[in-house]
Structure 1
Amino acid sequence: MTDHADVLIVGGGVIGLTTAYFLAQEGVRVTLIDKGDFGREASWAGAGIIPPGDSRRAIAPIDHLRSLSSEMYPDLSRRLREQTGIDNGYHVCGGLDLVEPGEAFPIEEWRAEGIAFREVMGDALRAVEPGLSPALARAYHLPGMAQVRTPRHVKALLAACEAQGVQLYPHRAATGFVRTGRRIDAVQTEQGPLLAGRFLVTAGAWTDGLVQQVGCRLGVRPVRGQIALLQTDDARQRLILLKGKRYLVPRGDGLVLVGATEEDVGFDARPTASAIAGLLAFAAELVPSLAGAALERCWAGLRPGSPDGLPFLGAVPNCPNLYVAAGHFRAGIQLSPASGRAMTDLLIGREPVVSLKAFRLDRPPAPPIRTAFRS
């Protein structure tokens, strides 16, 4: 066992990469491993929608995590661009949350947090976004909504980690742990064990398969999300369009992301004809001109769902040097800056930037809570 790090992170998606980045900035020796290429699972597949927020006024713990991440994105994006030359495409573009009959919106939560919004109805909707279908009658305009190009963001994080000396081992799957009593000595891989002082599992939908080996059962499960990418000749659409759990995200260069499904199909990450057809029909329902757009490609990712919709962030009970950051479901990109910062604080013995009590691994089961934004 020759490799040794202060912290070894298992799982190179956006949560693992962001935590490795922040740890390296603190002078921590970090090793990051992944069973495949870094950031190529749910992180690569995400749409990169960043809701607005004010962390000083957020009420629910998950809204505090989301709003702090939103506040961190501009500076994080700037620093990544300066360090790597990679522009992750972060920009504030605004969004329209389209109202369906009988749907309740978290208006009071938005007001309490000081989030700017206004109700838009009838023809005023087409004035805000001209390509919208005339059948759409009502929406809330959120001018502070932003987006990031997720593949570019992952590439920037990976390049920054490498530049800061993080030891990167793709295609090195963790198969178990080497233990002495309650402490973890090493992560076992097919290429041999890797030593470290502390260990963090950020393996997304694959997290439970590892931590169950030390008696920790979280209930993190894979939820397939399918996305289609359209190419149009008309780049006039500016706003992110949200309707229920689905969305259109215009990239500004004629590309439009259409997502996303939620499917409990185990670890099957194959896109299906019926789901993609449903997404294409949804796109044309919102913006009729998209019926003539070219289908550039489609893909699917396995999101890490949790029993109560909240991520797990914290130490594994009865394993003093083993930690988990997983279960972010559809909000991994959106919550990654604050999650990575909080886990860095925890791993170096500093008070976390946000309270992690609501996200602890041994929390009692609870129904999903009402939040300011759908993930």
Structure 2
Amino acid sequence: MSSSSEKIIIIGAGVVGLSTAVELLQHGYMVEIFDQQQAAKAASWAGGGILSPMYPWKYHSAINQLAKFGKQSYLALNEKLQPITGIDFEIEQGGMLIFDHDQFDLGLNYAQHFHEPEQQAYLVHRHEIQKINSQVNTEIDAAVYFPQLSNIRNPRLTQSLLTYVLQHPHARLHTHTPIQKISIAAARVNAIYDTSGNRYRADQYVIATGAWTAQLMAQFNVHLDIQPVHGQMVLYKTPPKWLPTMCMNNTMYLIPRRDGHIVCGSSTNHFGFHQELHEEISQNIIQSALSLVPELSKFPVVKQWAGLRPGSPTGVPKICKIPQCENAWCNAGHYRNGLVMAPASARLLREQMQGLATWVDASPYQWAG
């Protein structure tokens, strides 16, 4: 495929869709992007931005195969995009303290067993915890400390990706433009149509619609088990650098931002496509946060929100050609790890589109059979 004259339509303008667009633009393609809502929102905006799967030893190796490139990919991309967009991703390497005793052995051995030096961990006890992060509850007696783990401020990341796309001469973005119909003939997509009946055409098409992907896949007569999974968050405001590390216990986390905001989450519930806040979930997040960092009670909660993750059975996304269609592709189903997997996912998809040998094993992300 010659990129110089190829036009790609991407349906979905979250972090996966925008990362795919940036990857393709930087390799000479023309890109047209559609989103049914506002770009760079939904789960991409709502997440915490940890540049690692939570407890990576619990996840399928295919997830970690892509996630391990997240931090370095974003550092390189931030260096490239910031002079153009004027937006810093604010990647912070504060490390993470994990307090789940039942995860200590797995966490301490993960880096060696899976050859991931960025996941090197150390067992620390009460006095060492206080030296690393003096805000942690003094009653906590032990933790596993991952000093190299980082977080990215995902609203700034997505805004930078969006700004880059908007200024690019070979990109066009349509927001609040739901795609209603995909016209397929002779094993090829020949056009897509929005809800107003407008037609759009390209050489190749990419479905990157997150939690909404299954609905579009049905038009290809393909079943893809992606369900919306509701996740709720609470935001505190403290002085800058007040909380020096990320903290996590029993899948609940605190993520400090550079300016003193602290993101606390997150829940996992199946409420369909409803994104309303639930008071009992908020209180559970708050109580979990205060159990780890009691002094947080002195600061205000400044915002709460919820997003819909693209839940899939294993969390392993589909990054491949759609069955029985020569010019349509999928990049969806990342569940809780879309942000950290997005750069590697975009590269993997682009290499497959170009017919190149892929930089990582592509087989786990294909349709079975």
Would you say same fold, with TM above 0.5?
Answer: yes
Q: Which runs of 5+ in 1 are unaligned?
A: 53-58, 364-375
Counterpart in 2 of 1:128?
132
**Take 2:108 and 2:131, find their aligned partners in 1: how far apart are those partners?**
23
1:351 aligns with 2:357: yes
Q: Which runs of 5+ in 2 are unaligned?
A: 54-59
TM-score by length of 1: 0.90
Q: Is the 8 A contact 1:317 1:362 kept in 2?
A: no
Q: 2:177 aligns with which of 172, 181, 187?
A: 172
Per-residue deviation at 1:254?
Answer: 2.0
1:31 aligns with 2:37: no
Per-residue deviation at 1:103?
Answer: 6.6
**Take 2:112 and 2:355, find their aligned partners in 1: how far apart are those partners?**
35
CA change 1:90–1:233 in 2 (3 A) is closer
Q: Which whole-Å deviations, capped at 9, do the CAs of 1:300-358 have from their partners, x for residues lacking one?
A: 00000111221111111111111111111111111111111111222222222222211
Letter in 1 for 2:99: L
1:142 aligns with 2:146: yes
Letter in 2 for 1:12: A
Q: Is the 8 A contact 1:221 1:304 kept in 2?
A: yes
Counterpart in 2 of 1:185?
190
CA change 1:196–1:236 in 2 (3 A) is same
Q: Is the 8 A contact 1:8 1:32 kept in 2?
A: yes
Q: Is the 8 A contact 1:303 1:330 kept in 2?
A: yes
Aligned 1:250-265 pairs, distance under 5 A: 250-265=256-271
Letter in 1 for 2:188: R
CA change 1:29–1:238 in 2 (3 A) is same
1:295 aligns with 2:301: yes
Aligned 1:182-221 pairs, distance under 5 A: 182-191=187-196, 192-221=198-227
Counterpart in 1 of 2:321?
315
**Take 1:200 and 1:362, find their aligned partners in 2: how far apart are those partners?**
19
Matched residue of 1:177: which SS?
strand
Q: Is the 8 A contact 2:15 2:339 kept in 1?
A: yes
Per-residue deviation at 1:10?
Answer: 0.4
Letter in 2 for 1:241: C
Q: Is the 8 A contact 1:81 1:156 kept in 2?
A: yes
**Take 1:195 and 1:236, find their aligned partners in 2: how far apart are those partners?**
51
Letter in 2 for 1:286: L
**Take 1:38 and 1:16, find their aligned partners in 2: how far apart are those partners?**
10
CA change 1:9–1:237 in 2 (3 A) is same
Letter in 2 for 1:178: S
Counterpart in 1 of 2:238?
232
Q: Which whole-Å deviations, capped at 9, do the CAs of 1:208-229 have from their partners, x for residues lacking one?
A: 0001111111100000000000
Matched residue of 2:349: which SS?
helix
Counterpart in 1 of 2:68?
67
Structure with greater proportional helix content? 2
Q: Which whole-Å deviations, capped at 9, do the CAs of 1:31-52 have from their partners, x for residues lacking one?
A: 1000011011000001111139
Letter in 1 for 2:23: F
Q: Is the 8 A contact 1:43 1:150 kept in 2?
A: yes
Q: Is the 8 A contact 1:22 1:344 kept in 2?
A: yes
**Take 2:149 and 2:225, find their aligned partners in 1: how far apart are those partners?**
31
Q: Is the 8 A contact 1:237 1:252 kept in 2?
A: no
Range 106-115 or range 215-224, more displaced: 106-115
Matched residue of 1:318: which SS?
coil
Per-residue deviation at 1:134?
Answer: 1.9
**Take 1:100 and 1:38, find their aligned partners in 2: how far apart are those partners?**
40
Range 319-328 or range 64-73, more displaced: 64-73
Q: Which whole-Å deviations, capped at 9, do the CAs of 1:93-142 have from their partners, x for residues lacking one?
A: 21112223577634433213233221111222111110111222221111
Matched pairs, number: 355
Counterpart in 1 of 2:348?
342
Q: Which whole-Å deviations, capped at 9, do the CAs of 1:251-278 have from their partners, x for residues lacking one?
A: 1322110010000111011111111111
**Take 1:228 and 1:327, find their aligned partners in 2: how far apart are those partners?**
25
Q: Is the 8 A contact 2:92 2:258 kept in 1?
A: no
**Take 2:110 and 2:240, find their aligned partners in 1: how far apart are those partners?**
35
**Take 2:352 and 2:92, find their aligned partners in 1: how far apart are those partners?**
30
Letter in 2 for 1:361: W
CA change 1:340–1:168 in 2 (3 A) is same
Counterpart in 2 of 1:88?
89
Identity percentage of aligned residues: 27
Matched residue of 1:262: which SS?
coil
- Extract structure 1 runs of 4+ deviating beyond 3 A: 100-104
Aligned 1:355-374 pairs, distance under 5 A: 355-362=361-368
**Take 1:140 and 1:64, find their aligned partners in 2: how far apart are those partners?**
23
Q: Is the 8 A contact 2:108 2:120 kept in 1?
A: no
Counterpart in 1 of 2:56?
none
Matched residue of 2:90: which SS?
coil
Q: Is the 8 A contact 1:100 1:243 kept in 2?
A: no
Matched residue of 1:196: which SS?
coil
RMSD in angstroms over aligned alpha carbons? Answer: 1.9
